[in-house]
């Protein structure tokens, strides 16, 4: 009986150790994903800041170009060919700016999608942590019950040994 209990105890310990290893692997994977997503978030934030600076620079360049066009039209009304050329270039710059704004909008949508994925990942991490905490609580309860059973068994064995020793002394 004692050996069987030891083997059952060993099997239980191995099962709990296996569960711990599986949980550790899952937590490690999730932590690596969180670290990767955080790094990507920082990279995307830096790219967004660069895009905003480039947009501000383009807007400043566009304003400067508009000023030059105004000065050129005031100074040289007779050069209609030059004015037409500058107007065409201005249209191209506006189209490029609009294209850049469209790209920025698409990028902002992608960032919003990424943030939603990060939020979903964080929720999943929270659920896994709660599941892990429940498993640990159940394990602790089982360990307490096991300790009680072992204590009761040891007391019963001591009483049995005492009972056997008492008739021998007589």
Encode the chain (170 residues) as per-residue pLDDT tens digits: 688 889 999 999 999 999 999 999 999 999 999 999 999 999 999 999 999 999 999 999 989 988 987 886 677 675 677 668 778 888 999 888 888 888 888 889 999 999 999 999 999 999 999 999 999 999 999 999 999 999 999 999 999 888 888 766 65
128 touches 30 (CB < 8 A): yes
Residues 6 or more apart in contact with residue 54 via CB below 8 angstroms: 100
Please list the helix, strand and coil fractions of the chain in percent, rounded to the nearest 5, in that order: 95, 0, 5
For residues 142, 147, 150, 151, the Cα torsion angle rounded to the nearest 10 degrees is: -140
Total-model pTM: 0.34
- Cβ–Cβ under 8 Å, residues 22 and 71: no
Would you say the C-alpha torsion 137, 142, 147, 151 has a positive or negative sign? Answer: positive
Terminal-residue alpha carbon distance, the chain: 29
Q: Which residue has the tokens 């932590």?
A: 31
pLDDT of residue 104: 87
The reported pLDDT for the residue numbered 83 is: 62
pLDDT, position 78:
58
- What is the pLDDT at residue 20? 94
Residue 68: per-residue pLDDT: 86
């Amino acid at each position: 009986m004692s050996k069987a209990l030891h083997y059952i105890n060993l099997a239980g310990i191995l099962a709990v150790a296996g569960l711990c290893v599986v949980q550790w692997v899952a937590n490690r994977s999730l932590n690596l994903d969180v670290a990767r997503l955080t790094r990507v978030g920082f990279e995307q934030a830096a790219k967004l800041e660069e895009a905003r600076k480039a947009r501000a620079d383009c807007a400043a360049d566009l304003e400067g170009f508009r000023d030059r066009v105004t000065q050129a039209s005031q100074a040289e009304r007779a050069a209609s060919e030059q004015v037409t050329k500058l107007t065409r270039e201005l249209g191209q710059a506006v189209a490029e700016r609009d294209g850049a704004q469209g790209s920025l909008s698409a990028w902002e949508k992608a960032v919003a999608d990424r943030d939603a994925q990060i939020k979903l990942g964080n929720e999943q991490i929270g659920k896994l942590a709660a599941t892990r905490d429940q498993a640990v609580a159940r394990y602790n309860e089982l360990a307490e019950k096991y300790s009680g059973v072992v204590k009761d068994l040891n007391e019963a064995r001591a009483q049995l040994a005492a009972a056997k020793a008492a008739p021998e002394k007589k």
